[in-house]
A = this chain, B = another copy of it.
Amino acid sequence: MSNAALIAATLIAIDWGTTNRRGYLLGKGGEILDRREDDLGIAAAGAAGFGATFGTFTAPWREAADIALPVLMSGMIGSRQGWVEAPYALCPARAEDIAAQIMPLPGIDSTWIVPGICLNGDRRDVMRGEEVQIFGALDLASLTSATLCLPGTHSKWARVEDGRLVDFATAMTGEVYQVMRTHSILGALMEGNAGHESDAFRRGLDAAAAAGGLLHHLFSVRADGLFGVTRADEQASYLSGLLIGHELRDLGGTFRATDEPVLLVGAAGLTRIYEEALDHLALPFRTIEGHAATVRGLFAVWAANPLARLAG
């Protein structure tokens, strides 16, 4: 990191999740000047003391800079299990609405946490961290309206209209895969883990379209295994395809109003699986790398906040 980088620096953006944290030193245009990453997610950091680990993580940037560099954080750090709980902003919401509700960290200079977003109407839902990715991904894609899919343990689908997040929904796809793989009778007969470049994965995607519902389709993992239609080493892939197929049909169907491509946002390992699935279902998509979306989103939220203008 050069002195020039520190002079150009305008924000420290931190994506602080459950199992690790990623920090970025950002310039006036949101460009990444420096970065650091470790495995002190909220679980490990909580044990070590949030304040102390935060100090160590940001010190190289904050102590070297001439100005009191502001820090903006998103993710599980703002959850009940995190450092300080940042209340949810209400959906519908723009980046500006979130920006206006960033929460200062008591006792820590110029440091804020981005609130999550909640739905609390006929239907209730929550996200924390994905809101930043959503606005960042739109920015990177130069879009103001889109349907977004953020795959994961708890996948998120979201609809943004004219820069306003108007609706979203969570699907427990990744977690259901994990508990069925690890703890159900289906897992007991499986060998190995899921791969998405396989016939079994695609057969799972197709099976999701049949009658009978997911609770019935799950049993086909076992029944097809008994009859040798799906080998033991194919069953994890089939199960993965089945669950992703259900998610895409149920939530893709609900959230895609038009034929526009789905904005797929996530880490490459995960988006590749969903790309395969979307391709197989002939759903158009465009992929935005997840970490880039987070960085861009944190910068956008910061830029939309009046404090940024004071600081800048």
Contacts and interface: CB of A to CB of B under 8 A. Distances in A.
B176 A218 contact: yes
Given A126-B226, A179-B180, A213 B246 contact: yes
A210 B182 CA distance: 29
Contacts of A180: 176, 179
A309 interface: no
A76 to B, nearest CB: 12
Nearest to A176: B215
Given A120-B227, A124-B224, A249 B213 contact: yes
B210 A123 contact: yes
A172 B185 CA distance: 10
B247 A215 contact: yes
Given A227-B120, A246-B213, A219 B183 contact: no
A123 to B, nearest CB: 7
Given A212-B254, A215-B214, A124 B223 contact: yes
A184 interface: yes
Interface string A76-91: 0000000000000000
B172 A215 contact: yes
B216 A250 contact: yes
A254 B211 contact: yes
Interface in A231-247: 243, 246-247
B124 A229 contact: yes
Does more than half of chain A's interface fall in helix, strand or loop, or is it mixed?
A: helix
Contacts of A218: 172, 176
A224 to B, nearest CB: 5
A154 interface: yes
Interface in A203-217: 210-216
Contacts of A126: 223, 226
B223 A170 contact: yes
A175 interface: yes
A247 to B, nearest CB: 5
B216 A169 contact: yes
B185 A175 contact: yes
Contact of A227 (B124, B213, B214): B124
A125 interface: yes
Interface string A182-204: 11110000000000000000000
A114 interface: no
B216 A214 contact: no
Nearest to A249: B213
A210 B250 CA distance: 11
Given A123-B210, A124-B226, A169-B219, 15 more contacts: A123-B220, A170-B223, A171-B215, A171-B216, A171-B219, A172-B218, A176-B184, A182-B183, A211-B254, A213-B250, A214-B214, A214-B215, A215-B247, A215-B250, A216-B247
Interface of A: 118-120, 123-126, 154-155, 169-173, 175-176, 179-180, 182-185, 210-216, 218-220, 223-224, 226-227, 229, 243, 246-247, 249-251, 254
